[in-house]
Amino acid sequence: MKEINHLTPRQIVQELDKYIIGQRDAKRNVAIALRNRIRRMMVKSDLQKDIVPNNILMIGSTGVGKTEIARRLAKVAHAPFTKVEASKFTEVGYVGRDVESMVRDLVEQSINLVKESKNEEVKEKAAENVEDILLDILIPPVKTAGFSTARTSSSNGEFDPDKASEQELNEKTRERFRDKLRNGELEDRKVEINVKQSNSMGVGMIGNGMMDDASIAGLQDMLSGMMPKKSKKRKVTIEEARKILMEEETSKLVDFDEVKEEAIFLAENNGIIFIDEVDKIAKSGKNGSGPDVSREGVQRDLLPIVEGSAVNTKYGMVHTDHVLFIAAGAFHVSKPSDLIPELQGRFPIRVELDSLTQEDFVRILREPKNALTKQYQALFEAEEVYLEYTDDSIEEIARIAFKINEEVENIGARRLHTVMSHLLNDFLFDVPDTIQANAKIMITKEMVLERLSSLIQNRDLSQYIL
Ligand SMILES: Nc1ncnc2c1ncn2[C@@H]1O[C@H](COP(=O)(O)OP(=O)(O)OP(=O)(O)O)[C@@H](O)[C@H]1O
Ligand SMILES: [Mg+2]
């Protein structure tokens, strides 16, 4: 996992282009930020430590792709990623404002990533072990005579034909069963296996209010580590047994200390923390006193983490100096300059995202790999119903979505979701009762108009429904 993705900025943008329409500036900047971390890793001198990421502040109204860009970026980079809403820390009743929890989340993601890749590495070996265990269960090895004696006898120079053939027979059966196992002939056969039971102890009661999450989780792990692991015999099919054993064998083969170490390295050097809704923790401009105090408090709490500090997690200390922070907000009411200066300084790169045009909507409906139109096609296809759209129907959907945004409230590309679901709802309801397998549904412009026109004409109605 230590190998870091070597995509060039151009390639990163190309990857992002597969999912996000427009927003060239934002894409270019996140791509540079990502590449800069790779560059930093390659710096040999002492300067390496001093090069800190240029955190990014994305400014753009709702539904234009801010979160989507950050999320995709993390995927492209195979980087641990976590997203928090800054405003969550100002919520009434939210005591303690545990801003460090975002770092713990990040490490958790990192652990998952590393585990996944390690599991993948040992997959074959684990499968081999599982096969042997299953064979031992199916044909218990002959303990007394068989193997051991047969082997020693040959080293003694003596030869016992009976035992030799017994062993041979045994191995033959074993191989026969191995074939059967591999062919999947035995999947439904029941076997008895020992299943280790994890005992999760609830320490919530002692922990409540006295400890932070990390210590609670740590304590929990410690306690369950101290408790003897009970194992229970269970009768399951080979198919299930294979799953259960596979998990056990995999965890035996993967060294968790190594996982922890790599995960912390990965989180520290490759992690991305996305802080959404930072505009909501900025001073609102008006001279309100109450909430502003708490907002500024949150900014002050964020400062050390963004600046670089060590955070205690249940896997160990995590330094946040090289974590990439991407903050985002609409900044309709407040401005970036309403943030406390120290925090502004931690986000030197500002990118403004463009509002989406009607043409963008058309492309968003059509082009991304995971475009909404394709998602619905896939849903219908799952029931063997084939959904098609005429070109002008897509243009019409885009036009309607755009118009509702203008007239009711601009929620960006999210509007496409509400419009599409409204358009297709009846079909989704009718499959498979009245619209059965192999049916074709053609979405035309007329159909779009017919199904949605009453809504666009009636503003009050569309406020509720779309
Ligand atoms: N430029 C775009 N290209 C493709 N899809 C987009 C684009 N912008 C938004 N979308 C789609 O709209 C949805 C909302 O986008 P996203 O979550 O990125 O909004 P946001 O900018 O983070 O808004 P908010 O400020 O409300 O958090 C996503 O599901 C995404 O698929
Ligand atoms: Mg968002």
Domain segments of the chain as ranges: 2-117+260-352, 123-148+164-253, 358-456
Let me know if domain 358-456 sits in CATH 3.40.250.10.
no
On whether the CB atoms of residues 41 and 105 are closer than 8 A, the answer is: no
**21 annotated as ligand-binding:** yes
Structure confidence at residue 227 (pLDDT):
66
224 pLDDT tier (thresholds 50, 70, 90): low
In the predicted structure, residue 206 carries a pLDDT above the cut 60:
no
Residue whose CA is at the smallest distance from ligand 1 atom 1? 21
Q: Quick one: DSSP state of residue 332?
A: S
For the segment 376-400, the average pLDDT, to the nearest whole number, is 95
Q: Which of 23, 67, 353 to mutate to test the pocket of ligand 1 (most atoms within 8 A of CB)?
A: 67
Structure confidence at residue 28 (pLDDT):
95
Identify the three-state secondary structure at position 424. Answer: helix
Q: What string of DSSP letters covers 314-358? A: TTEEEE-TT-EEEEEE--SSS-GGGS-HHHHHH--EEEEPPPPPH
In the predicted structure, residue 460 carries a pLDDT above the cut 70:
no
Structure confidence at residue 453 (pLDDT):
79
> For residue 455, which of 424, 422, 428, 427 has the smallest C-alpha distance?
422
Q: How far is the CA of 327 from the centre of ligand 1 (A)?
A: 15
As a whole number, the mean pLDDT across the chain is 84
Structure confidence at residue 204 (pLDDT):
44
Residue 71 CA: which ligand 1 atom is closest? 18
Q: How far is the CA of 20 from the centre of ligand 2 (A)?
A: 14
Q: What are phi and psi of 16, to 5 degrees?
A: -65, -35
Structure confidence at residue 145 (pLDDT):
47
On whether the CB atoms of residues 414 and 62 are closer than 8 A, the answer is: yes
Report the C-alpha gap between 421 and 312 in whole angstroms. 44
Q: How far is the CA of 340 from the centre of ligand 2 (A)?
A: 22
* Buried b / exposed e along 12-30 (16+ C-beta atoms within 10 A): bbebbbebbbbbeebbbbb
Side-chain half-sphere CA neighbours of 262 within 13 A = 19
**Alpha carbon separation from 292 to 76, 150, 307, 334, 337 (Å, rounded):** 37, 83, 22, 12, 15
The domain made up of 2-117+260-352 has a fold known as Rossmann fold (3.40.50)
On whether the CB atoms of residues 305 and 84 are closer than 8 A, the answer is: no
Ligand 1 in reach of 64 Cβ (< 6 A): yes
pTM: 0.80
**276 annotated as ligand-binding:** yes
Ligand 1 in reach of 405 Cβ (< 6 A): no
Q: Cα 127–128–131 angle (5° rounding)?
A: 85
Q: Quick one: DSSP state of residue 53?
A: -
Identify the three-state secondary structure at position 411. Answer: coil
258-291 pLDDT, tens digit per residue, is 999 999 999 999 999 999 999 989 886 554 445 5
Side-chain half-sphere CA neighbours of 342 within 13 A = 12
Structure confidence at residue 464 (pLDDT):
62
Structure confidence at residue 146 (pLDDT):
44
In the predicted structure, residue 153 carries a pLDDT above the cut 50:
no
Report the C-alpha gap between 361 and 366 in whole angstroms. 9
Ligand 1 in reach of 277 Cβ (< 6 A): no
Structure confidence at residue 202 (pLDDT):
46
295-325 pLDDT, tens digit per residue, is 888 898 899 999 999 999 999 999 999 999 9
Ligand 1 in reach of 53 Cβ (< 6 A): no
> For residue 399, which of 379, 427, 423 has the smallest C-alpha distance?
423
Report the C-alpha gap between 368 and 19 in whole angstroms. 4
Token duo for residue 272 = 């991305």
Report CA 450 to chain centroid distance, whole Å: 39
Residue 416 CA: which ligand 1 atom is closest? 12
In the predicted structure, residue 335 carries a pLDDT above the cut 70:
yes
Q: Minimum-distance ligand to the CA of 279? A: 1
